[in-house]
Copies of this chain bind each other. A is one copy, B any other.
Amino acid sequence: MNLNYTEEELAFRDEVRAFLDKKLPADIAAKVKGFRRLSKEDHQRWQKILSEQGWYATHWPVEHGGVEWSPVQKHIWDEESSRYGVPRSIPFGVNMVAPVIIRFGNEEQKQTYLPRILSGEDWWCQGYSEPGAGSDLASLKTRAVREGDHYIVNGQKTWTTLGQHANMIFCLVRTNTEVKAQEGISFLLIDMDTPGITVRPIITLEGEHEVNEVFFEDVKVPVENLVGEEDKGWTYAKYLLTYERTGLAGIGLSKAALSHLKELASRRLKNGRPLLEDPTFSQRIAEVEIDLTAAGISNLRIIASVEGGGVPGAESSMLKVKGTEIRQAINDLARRAIGPYALPFVEEELELDYDGEFLSDENAAPLSAQYFNNRKLSIFGGSNEIQKNIVSKMILGL
């Protein structure tokens, strides 16, 4: 048993640090660390820097321009990214549709889409959920009917994250209504500029525009945009879901949030003393830090097991639940730490270049909003209830 990094891994970490020291734009890091809003341009600028370094497509084979980091290397990257304030990567292109294209797409699709993802030319979004199909994804109703060389798509997708920026969407659509729900689904790549597509913002509870509804009305999609075989889309989606689950625990993000919380608690006062010295509050921080330490080790155990050729099972679903609970607990404490200042919500303070006067604490502004926004963590990406259903199936065999 050895909980330390190898020499090579330590060298890699140094390399990562050197790169981030040199290349991560200070304004972007400041936004990330202060929980400010990132623009589309911010994301694109950073992606370009990563691409130039060859570190953008960490999950792809080298032949397609990827870097094939080991699980431990990815972990090191995640840790350092969180610490430095690297923007969260927008996964829909590079980490979601790309692995599906690489695994199940044809040569032409690979040639067409992969380079455009690498270069940042395409911004992808995901068309999975529908108003009537959330946790029960397989009950989706968006129809694609083959007519000659096209599919005609009609229906509605929802919870499409950052769809307002995207020019491409990958969709699960129903191509066969005669068979069992899971068996009549296909995986389509759709250009967002195709006539008949409308994007409508969904404003989340705290007032942000992050997710969207996407409407399809007689949208003509060339048949060459079908990935793999017709009616086999559910298989590809499941492949993707397994892919997605690792990382959903967000250990690195929790560490960054905890570090922010402790910094906040060392400045905010209660009874004239910093909250970090308050018996009650310091114990609450201690508890969540302890839980995070344990979850961090659990995460490493999964990573080491994957590195050793294992397949993450029930543990990664359990860790998703625990990890999101921890992040929500940190957000809850951050909101509590600012006391009455949880109430004011000056949206403009979310911009880094905001030049008005801050309320008492410039870092207080985003904290209530973030608390509310992150209630999504236990809902999206497979709700925590669904994760527990999966685990209980795996361990109870029922």
Contact = CB atoms under 8 A, between A and B. Distances in A.
A279 B283 CA distance: 11
Instruction: Specify how many copies of this chain sit in the oligomer.
Output: 2
A283 B284 CA distance: 13
A41 to B, nearest CB: 49
A2 interface: no
A6 interface: no
Interface residues on A, range: under 10
A280 interface: yes
A281 to B, nearest CB: 11
Contacts of A283: 280
Contacts of A279: 279-280
A62 B186 CA distance: 76
A140 B279 CA distance: 53
A26 to B, nearest CB: 42
A279 B284 CA distance: 13
Interface in A90-146: none
A44 to B, nearest CB: 49
A369 B280 CA distance: 30
Contacts of A280: 279-280, 283
A203 B283 CA distance: 40
A279 B280 CA distance: 8
Nearest to A279: B279
Interface in A266-305: 279-280, 283
Nearest to A278: B279
A287 to B, nearest CB: 12
A280 B282 CA distance: 11
A283 B283 CA distance: 12
A310 to B, nearest CB: 36
A279 B271 CA distance: 14
A23 B271 CA distance: 52
A282 to B, nearest CB: 10
A106 B154 CA distance: 72
A112 B314 CA distance: 62
A21 B280 CA distance: 43
Interface string A175-199: 0000000000000000000000000
A334 B386 CA distance: 38
4 contacts: A279-B279, A279-B280, A280-B280, A280-B283
> Which 4 A-B pairs rank lowest in CB-CB distance, beginning with the nearest?
A279-B279, A279-B280, A280-B283, A280-B280
